[in-house]
Amino acid sequence: MKLDLDINKAKNYTSNSQIARVLTENWVKVHSYCPNCRENNLEEFENNKPVADFYCKSCSEQFELKSKNAIKIGGKIVDGAYSTMIKRINSDENPNFFFLTYDKKKWRVANFLIIPKFYFTSEIIIKRKPLSDTAKRAGWIGCNIDISKVPKSGRIFLVKNSQIISKEKVYSQWKGTEFLRNKKGESKGWILDIMKCIDAIKKDTFTLNEMYLFEEQLKLKYPKNNFIKDKIRQQLQFLRDKGLIEFKNRGVYKKIDYENI
């Protein structure tokens, strides 16, 4: 994998957004690989295919690409129509999401990450203000994707701060989250919420009592559940069984450090 964008590919374009699109799409096609099967076999869909931008010719996994001119990731990514996005995340058609940032001064990729489709919930899709009456598409409502609301386990970096992450680490992080693929509705919601609580504790190890501090917050989200503490314990055990956290000793857990891989 090389991080340079091939600027020759953009010589027939003048609009900045078109240039960015052509260069980043070309980079993904040439340099990226499918995290699901590790094959370097990504192909573009024909233009304007509504569902996704790329598919893997080996395993059929689909990906949508969003890119922006930035060295740092930041939290928000501008996406298309709000209603379309909400519909998509509730259907089986939702693709995985590639997010790329590039340094325009050097035409180099700075960050490239994957968010698996099963990490998408309506909470990370933020509605924007409707376009004003004077706009061409007055009343149209777009959305932002707030990746800071995605648990760390679901932000799988292939390139982070201009460093290439090894394919084996990418693959193991991807595989480590696959159990979520078949989870739906509230059961998926609980797992993601507990992951986010764990992320919010800014230490490598944490205790059950520290997790219980999220009881009220979780109760707001699940008002009908009268056994929040039991649920927290159950989810921690589940995440431990799936290898996303480690059990140190009684009531003490250790995080997997995604920042340093």
d(CA 215, CA 235): 13
Number of Cβ within a 10 Å radius of residue 191: 22
DSSP states of 90-101: TSTTPPEEEEEE
Residue nearer to Zn ion on the CB measure, 56 or 232: 56
What burial class does residue 197 get, using C-beta atoms within 10 Å of its C-beta: 0-12 exposed, 13-18 middle, 19+ buried?
Answer: buried
Residue nearer to Zn ion on the CB measure, 36 or 101: 36
Residue nearer to Zn ion on the CB measure, 56 or 113: 56
51 near Zn ion (CB under 5 A): no
Binding test (CB under 5 A) with Zn ion, winner from 1, 30, 37, 86: 37
Cβ proximity of 66 and 54 under 8 Å: no
Q: Is the dihedral angle over the CA atoms 154, 157, 160, 163 positive or is it negative?
A: positive
Kindly indicate which of the ranges 36-44, 81-89, 92-100, 228-236 contains the residues binding Zn ion, using the contact rule CB under 5 A.
36-44
Kindly indicate which of the ranges 24-32, 54-62, 170-178, 197-205 contains the residues binding Zn ion, using the contact rule CB under 5 A.
54-62
Q: Give, in order, the Cα–Cα distances in Å from 18 to each of 5, 51, 53, 224, 256.
A: 14, 20, 15, 49, 39
Task: Give me the least distance between CB of 57 and Zn ion, in Å please.
Answer: 8
Binding test (CB under 5 A) with Zn ion, winner from 58, 121, 144, 207: 58
- Report the side by side order of strands in the sheet with 108-115: 42-44, 54-56, 62-69, 96-103, 108-115, 156-160, 163-164
Kindly state the number of chain residues that form the binding site for Zn ion, as judged by CB under 5 A: 7
Q: Which residue has the tokens 């969003």?
A: 66
Kindly indicate which of the ranges 28-36, 135-143, 225-233, 237-245 contains the residues binding Zn ion, using the contact rule CB under 5 A.
28-36
Task: Give me the least distance between CB of 100 and Zn ion, in Å please.
Answer: 18
81 near Zn ion (CB under 5 A): no
SS3 180: helix
Identity of the residue numbered 203 = K
Q: Which of residues 180-209 bind Zn ion (CB under 5 A)?
A: none
Task: Give me the least distance between CB of 34 and Zn ion, in Å please.
Answer: 3
Binding test (CB under 5 A) with Zn ion, winner from 34, 145, 147, 244: 34
Kindly indicate which of the ranges 59-67, 90-98, 101-109, 188-196 contains the residues binding Zn ion, using the contact rule CB under 5 A.
59-67
Residues at the interface with Zn ion (CB under 5 A): 34, 36-37, 56, 58-59, 61
